[in-house]
Amino acid sequence: MAPVEPRISYVVGRLDRALRRKLGEALRPHGLTVRQYTTLSVLRARSGLSNAQLARRSLMTPQSMNEVLAALVALGLVRRTPDEAHGRVIRTELTAAGAARLEACDDAVDVLEQEMLAGLDARERERLLAELRRCARALGAGFPEDD
């Protein structure tokens, strides 16, 4: 019997689990979780988001985002201020400390990504990114610039 190729969804799932584990290890010395790093990264790209917007862009529930934001506020990495036009909406933005911590974490994540992509040339990396984004969009997990 010929070997059976694994399903793409299985390979993507294994990659996701391995990447999350390695990200956690890379971020731990900087005092952040993967969810906190993701949140800070989203805020860098789009400051002033509401909790609901931030949760959607970070692929979390609003309840989970509340927990993440509470921890980030306690660490002094984000600040939350009421929206003047919408009384119940609270906007979130990075503090200078948050931007600095994010930059330090980016260096660790860069090392991890270089390790993961070592077998691919620049053209293959661009193609892989484009195809993964297309797959994510097809399942409704678009990107901020898609909005």
Give per-residue pLDDT as tens, 58-107: 888 999 999 999 999 999 999 998 877 777 778 899 999 999 999 999 99
Query: Among candidates 51, 55, 44, 59, which has minimal Cα distance to 94?
Result: 44
- Here the tokens at position 16 are 């996701």
Given the candidates 3.20.20.60, 1.10.10.10, 3.30.1480.10, 2.60.40.1180, the CATH classification of the domain at 9-139 is 1.10.10.10
Nearest to 23 by CA among 8, 40, 6: 40
Residue type at position 115: E
Task: Return the structure tokens found at 124.
Answer: 């293959």
Query: What are the φ and ψ backbone dihedral angles of 15, each rounded to 5 degrees?
Result: -60, -45
**What SS3 state is found at 141?**
coil
pTM: 0.86
pLDDT of residue 143: 64
C-beta of residue 81 within 8 angstroms of C-beta of residue 91: yes
pLDDT per position as a tens digit, 14-63 = 999 999 999 999 999 999 999 999 999 999 998 888 888 899 888 889 99
